[in-house]
Structure formats: C-alpha cells, structure tokens
C-alpha cells in the first residue's frame, strides 16, 4: 500500500505540483489539501502517513518567513499535529515549509533561543540517496 501524503497548501505556497510528482516518483499517494479543508474538517491529518509543507511565501511571509502559517498550525491544529508526530508519522518541510515547521515547534530540537530566534539542533541527520534517470545524488 502506498503511503498517503498530505501536501499542505495555503495562500502563497507554491511548487505543489513538483511536490506531487516527487512523491509519486518515490512511490507515494500525494494529495494537495488546502488548509481551509483541514479547518472545515473535510480532511484530517490522521488520515495521512506523511505531511509535506512545500516552499513558497506562505501568506506573503507577512511578519516573517513562515510565521503566519506556523501561527495557523499552532492555533488550529497544535494537538492534531503533535499526535501526528508522536505516532511516528513523517513530516517534511521544504524551504518556507521548513521555516514554518521550526516556528511551529514541530521539529525535534527546535527551541527559542535568546532574542526569540528559532534554532534547530542539527544532531539528528539522515543520509539518503536519490537516483534519477540522468544522475545520482547522495544526501
């Protein structure tokens, strides 16, 4: 069975199509879900195996990169997201999506340092390899 992947869409996020294609190539079953569908409970985090936050400029990066989207996640979905992570499900943030995850406090080692800056402990690293038809990359 293919893992179900929720690709979170919000105002200003982009590259959703590329994320869908990458997930399909990796053997997943991606679905682009607008944050309002989650608010309306038309979709639920628990129904997915992986959460992917793509890049872009969520909410025009008002207040700073990923700040507004992180606020949305904390205010509307904090308990659901912490349960999602605690259950061992995977979360991936690309570019602005990663900034959102840090600001929402959803990454291991994420904390507020002096001056309110967000930091992430780089101690947990994963090695992976990506192969395409024309080239091979080691991560």
The DSSP code for 3 is P
Note the pLDDT of residue 28: 96
Predicted TM-score (pTM) of this structure: 0.78
Q: What domains does the chain contain, in order, with CATH numbers?
A: 4-138 (3.40.50.880)
What is residue 39's three-state secondary structure? helix
As a whole number of angstroms, the distance between CA 104 and CA 110 comes to 9
pLDDT along the chain (139 residues), means of 10: 94 89 95 96 96 84 74 89 92 88 75 50 54 52
Greatest Cα pair distance, the chain, in angstroms, is 46
**Among candidates 12, 13, 83, which has minimal Cα distance to 52?**
13
Note the pLDDT of residue 114: 44
φ and ψ at 10, to 5 degrees?
A: -145, 170
């Amino acid at each position: 069975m293919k893992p179900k992947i929720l690709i979170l869409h919000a105002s200003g996020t982009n590259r959703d199509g590329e994320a869908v294609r990458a997930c399909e190539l990796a053997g997943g079953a991606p679905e682009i879900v607008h944050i309002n569908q989650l608010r309306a409970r038309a979709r639920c985090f628990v129904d997915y195996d992986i959460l992917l936050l793509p890049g872009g400029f969520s909410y025009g990066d008002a207040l700073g990169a990923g700040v507004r989207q992180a606020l949305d996640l904390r205010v509307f979905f904090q308990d659901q997201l912490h349960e999602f992570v605690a259950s061992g499900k995977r979360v991936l943030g690309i570019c602005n999506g990663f900034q959102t995850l840090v600001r929402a406090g959803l990454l291991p080692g994420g904390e507020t340092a002096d001056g309110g800056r967000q930091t992430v402990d780089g101690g947990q690293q994963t090695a992976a390899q990506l192969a395409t038809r024309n080239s091979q990359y080691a991560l």
